[in-house]
Amino acid sequence: MSKYPIILKTSFFLTFLSAISLSFGQKSIDTVALSDLQRHLSVIASDAMEGRETGTPGIEKAAVYLETEFKRLGLSPGNGKKYRQEYRTPEENLKACNIVAQIEGSIFPNEYVVVSAHYDHLGVYNGVIYNGADDDGSGTAALLAMAEALMRLKKLGKGPQRSVVFIAFSGEEKGLWGSSYFSDHPTIPLEKVSCDINIDMIGRIDPDRRTADTNHYVFIVGQSRLSSETQRILRALNDNTQRLTLDEKFDHKKDPNRIYYRSDHYNFAKKGVPVVFFYDGMLGGDYHEPTDDIELIDWEVYHKRTNFILDFTMSLANRETLLKRDLAE
């Protein structure tokens, strides 16, 4: 997740320096393999990726990994013949890219559910690599594991009825650059997007939550805005599947952390596309620290959250209509 609630022009390094700061339900689809999450995250959050800072050779390795995996799984390139959507960064005019891959819907191929996560992080500072295992290696690995699960379902004839578009954004940590570019140059018509389901940090348990009666929680944000249907669908689905504690406090319009404005979903919401943001609530502790490493991931909760996001993706892909756009922001 970005430190920036809105797109700022401030020098990255200046702000960087100053801000250091279950049980499975019977009806769940439950097809994300834990081993897939582990395999992908161990690559994405490895030192070899050099912290994945936008515009560096490290993030290029991550981009190649994403392209290779989407191709291996059989997803279609989402930008014409390419998985890459290239753009130049606003500040240093460096080359950067989003990675877009899609699975064609069986009944409504020209309607879409977007699942997004950012694959960039903070890079290397003073010789220390910031691996960003939770932020947002967890979301990036979830995209790949979900894509693999959906392709398995598709081969069984149970694939999504609407097209599902996976987007790995770059430039998020710098100020939501990749999603800003995408929302101005979309590869699919935004009016045909039911929802952007954005995942940014879902692999950890916030230490503040450890005193609660369950660690099986996830924060959801955006569900009460733009569409009157989203919140009801999420709650009912959760009751019938993963039974997570859905914590909605960051969705409050007066949330002082302004989480709604701080990750890539906001660039979809700005264009009127309903959004739901999934998040583990980490703001202190290892957030934006070099200690955000794979060893601190809680695999059981991460797996459960990813399965819930897959269930939600399928429920939007398979319902009769796109989400209504009947609320103001």
Beta pairing, strands 108-118 & 162-169: parallel
Q: How far is the CB of 312 from Zn ion (least distance, A)?
A: 23
Question: Which residue, 83 or 261, is less far from Zn ion as judged by CB?
Answer: 261
Tokens of 281: 């609530």
What are the residue ranges of helices labelled H in the chain? 12-18, 34-44, 57-73, 139-155, 172-175, 177-184, 230-240, 265-269, 299-318
Q: How far is the CB of 246 from Zn ion (least distance, A)?
A: 22
Closest CA to 22 of 307, 291, 242: 242
Among 30, 50, 53, 135, binds Zn ion (CB under 5 A): 135
Q: Does 45 bind Zn ion (CB under 5 A)?
A: no
Question: Which residue, 1 or 147, is less far from Zn ion as judged by CB?
Answer: 1
Q: Does 1 bind Zn ion (CB under 5 A)?
A: yes
Q: Does 237 bind Zn ion (CB under 5 A)?
A: no
Question: Which residue, 50 or 173, is less far from Zn ion as judged by CB?
Answer: 173
Q: How far is the CB of 148 from Zn ion (least distance, A)?
A: 25
Q: Backbone phi, then psi, for 275, in 5-degree steps?
A: -135, 155
Question: Which residue, 17 or 107, is less far from Zn ion as judged by CB?
Answer: 17
Q: How far is the CB of 91 from Zn ion (least distance, A)?
A: 17
Question: Which residue, 104 or 286, is less far from Zn ion as judged by CB?
Answer: 286
Interactions with Zn ion, residue window 136-195 (CB under 5 A): 173
Q: How far is the CB of 258 from Zn ion (least distance, A)?
A: 14
Please name every residue paired with 226 in a beta bridge, in sequence order, or none if there are none. Answer: none
Closest CA to 175 of 89, 252, 276: 89
Q: Backbone phi, then psi, for 182, in 5-degree steps?
A: -60, -40
CA end-to-end distance (rounded Å), the chain? 21
Q: By the criterion CB under 5 A, which residues form the site for Zn ion?
A: 1, 135, 173
